[in-house]
Structure 1
Amino acid sequence: MTTDPTTTPRWFALPLLALGMLGFVCAWVLAALALERQCAWLAPLAALDMVLLLGLSRWPAGATRAGWAFAATAMAIVLANFGIAAGELGQGFGLRPWESALMLGANHAWTLLEMANSPLDLAFYASGLLVALVAGLNARRRGPSVR
């Protein structure tokens, strides 16, 4: 029995997804700290990035790709918001964002994020999750072959 290489998930798909998600989170946090905004508009881009990474590793389109893309996007939103809160709080104390993140508790971060995120930011986060689901479910159609 042979398996089709285009429908068999690769072993490196999930580590690639985790590394890509962490890289996107770092870029999101740096952009937000530099612009002094939440940069919630990056959430749909994060979703597209997660789907692209799964597609590059030949993860088949469908419910599992959509689920992994949704989970990675949700984790990116949470980690980016936590990093932004830690970075903003740490600046006042002269700490780097990762130093401040180690001292920031979940309740304090939640309170800071409730104050920082507007309804428009929440809409961007929701649209990012929706983009992850829809793009993960849909397979990219191949163009016509030259052969």
Structure 2
Amino acid sequence: MIDIKARPSRWLASALLVLGSGGFAAAWILLALIRDRQCSWMAVLAALDAALLLRLARAPAGWPRALAAVAATAATIVLANWGIAAAQVGRLLGLLPWESALRLGPRYAWTLAGLANRPADLAWLAAALLLAALAASGRRPAP
């Protein structure tokens, strides 16, 4: 018989966040390439995804879970922006996106992301980080 109240292992939440962040970043990159835009609003969905994954993994509520959601959201944002920049540069050079991503240096990726992300995009990214902290904390506001 399975004990539903058993305490979940810590590695489950970490594994879910790594898989979720990578998968969500891949979906974000594909959408950005199809629409030929940054699609920064996807960061908000990534924040909600991270919070949901932590709740599904039964990570204890509080600031550690909120911090993990913010870190996962930030990782998704970085991966997605890196992948979008790599795919755009790779398209020009005749490389596949993953080939270009391995050759793209951090300074060049930062420059391309800075050029591609406008103030509205940066607002979406900042809102996503805040939403990740609030959605994952598990604290209910007082009525």
TM-score, normalised with respect to structure 2: 0.90
Q: Equivalent residue for 1:72?
A: 72
Unaligned runs of 5+ in 2: none
Aligned to 2:17: 17
**What is the rounded CA distance, in whole Å, between the counterparts of 1:9 and 1:119 in structure 2?**
40
Q: Which amino acid aligns with 2:89?
A: L
Q: 1:116 corresponds to which residue? A: 116
Cα distance in 1 for partners of 2:90, 2:62 equals 41
Residues 1:29 and 2:33 aligned together: no
Amino acid at match of 2:50: M
* Alpha-carbon separation, structure 2, partners of 1:115 and 1:14: 32
CA-CA distance at 1:5 after TM superposition: 3.4
Corresponding position of 2:90 = 90
**Which structure: greater helix fraction?**
2
User: Which TM-score applies when normalising by structure 1?
Assistant: 0.87
Q: Quick one: distance in 2 between partners of 1:115 and 1:17?
A: 29
Task: Please report how far the alpha carbon of residue 13 of structure 1 lies from its aligned counterpart in structure 2 after TM superposition.
Answer: 1.3
Q: 1:111 offset after TM fit, Å?
A: 1.1
Cα RMSD over matched residues?
A: 1.6
SS in 1 for 2:61: coil
Return the alpha-carbon distance in structure 2 between the equivalents of residues 39 and 132 of structure 1: 18
AA at the equivalent of 1:127: A
Take 1:46 and 1:21, find their aligned partners in 2: how far apart are those partners?
8
4+ residue runs of structure 1 moved beyond 6 angstroms?
A: none
Letter of the 2:59 partner, please give it: W
Deviation at 1:94, TM superposition (A): 1.3
CA offsets per residue over residues 27-65 of structure 1, 9 Å max, x none?
Answer: 001110111100000001000000100111111221111
